[in-house]
Amino acid sequence: MRTASLILLCSSFLLLSYRSESERKTVFGVSLAATGMNSDLSFALVSVGGGQGNSYRNIAKDDFIKMVAGAWLCPANPDHIDLFDSMQVIGGIYFDSTTFEKIPYCPALDSLWKLRYNYNPYQPNENGWAGEKYKPSAKQATYLHDNYGVYNVLNDFFIDSNCWKILRDVCNPAWIAHYKSSK
């Protein structure tokens, strides 16, 4: 009887472990933290759910765009869907007929630094939207937390639906005016 109970207990534990693991999914994420990949942003495939903490695999900006566009297979887009199109974010792969190159682009990604800085640290004549020199104001930080789940723009990622939401929002003039006025 004791052995049967132990086997049942172990079987239940294994089933729950398998179930938790199967509930995990991989999504796209972008962070305002600089990486060593020649970018002032961080891009990642983020494994979420299953009762465990998130795990991140950093990727390069161009790889991120190619995966989001469905040009490259990845766990966050296994069906090769053009997520730029389906999530209503401007971006994708541009084919240059002169050079015959496929060029990844996403204008929203080029504006994300403005959330963190009040001027471009690489081109000081360009203004950002942040209330402080190197970070959002306290009011802006609260807004990013409440609307996108980002506690700290120096560490956290905009992930899954919040990733698409911020990429749409930073291209919306009314949203930009609201964020800037929250200083």
Q: What is the pLDDT of residues 155-165, one digit of tens each?
A: 899 999 999 99
Within a domain: residue 17? no
Residue 7's pLDDT is 40
| Residue 134, in any domain of the structure | yes
Residue 170 included in any domain? yes
Of 168, 171, 158, 170, give the one whose Cα is nearest residue 30: 158
Rounded distance between C-alpha atoms, residue 83 and residue 22, angstroms: 23
What is the domain extent for residue 136? 23-181
Does residue 18 form part of some domain? Answer: no
**Model pTM?**
0.83
Query: Per the domain annotation, does 54 fall within a domain?
Result: yes
- 142 falls within a domain: yes
Residue (of 175, 155, 25) closest to 108 by Cα position: 175
Closest CA to 162 of 153, 175, 150, 174: 150
Q: Has residue 33 been placed in a domain?
A: yes
Instruction: Provide the pLDDT for residue 8.
Output: 38
Structural tokens at position 121: 């640290």
Do the domain assignments include residue 111?
A: yes
Q: Beta 42-48 vs 55-59: how paired, if at all?
A: antiparallel
Q: pLDDT over 70 for what percent of the chain? A: 85
Segment 75-98, tens digit of pLDDT: 999 999 999 999 999 999 999 999
Total number of domains constituting the chain: 1
